[in-house]
Structure 1
């Protein structure tokens, strides 16, 4: 009984650490990219250049892709192999196993 409580506590702590890690990652992403965008906007507007270039948003875009993957991992989001898909596959293999075992009776 004590091992079960300890195991649940460890899983809960791990989950909280994962969530904290994601939210820290998100906060750093927002702060750094806001800083970059403000600096680029100020320097380009003072020179009369256009702010809307790919290079302006390069860091935000590619870091954002990494952040989306981090989010999907932390929140267990998997659009391709979700819970419904897993359940369907499990049922398929259970039925296949039953058919195989009935064959040899």
Structure 2
């Protein structure tokens, strides 16, 4: 069971998620622009052989995986969030143990 987030934690998490989404949008824009240029080059500058499909497919797979990690796995119940929560709880237990040890005679 997770404890409620403090306002600072909510702010940090919201900023991290917004940055991840913005990063994906920048990635998608670069993908469209570069692949449009490659398509134009393969079509008009270097003949009609459609070699530009290969970078489009490879980069497209990377873009899809990036989107999955941002929009599906980064929603808050993802593996990363659970791992962060476990580490936070472990650190809190260690801190509580140290405080108890200091108060023992």
TM tier, smaller: 0.5 to 0.7
Runs of at least 5 residues in structure 2 that lack an aligned partner in the other structure: 79-105
Tell me which stretches of 4 or more aligned residues in structure 1 moved more than 3 Å: none
Return the alpha-carbon distance in structure 2 between the equivalents of residues 50 and 20 of structure 1.
35
Matching of residue 29 in structure 1 with residue 25 in structure 2: no
Question: Matched residues in 1 for 2:61 and 2:26: separation?
Answer: 16
Q: TM-score, normalised by structure 2?
A: 0.60
The alignment's TM-score, normalised by the length of structure 1, stands at 0.60
- For residue 40 of structure 1, report the CA deviation from its aligned partner: 1.1
Give yes or no for the alignment of 1:65 onto 2:61. yes
Aligned length: 70
In structure 1, list runs of 5 or more residues that go unmatched. Answer: 83-105
Which residue of 1, 13, 16 corresponds with 1:14?
16
User: C-alpha root-mean-square deviation of aligned residues, in Å?
Assistant: 1.9
> Structure 2 matches for 1:39-54, cutoff 5 A?
39-44=41-46, 49-51=47-49, 53=50
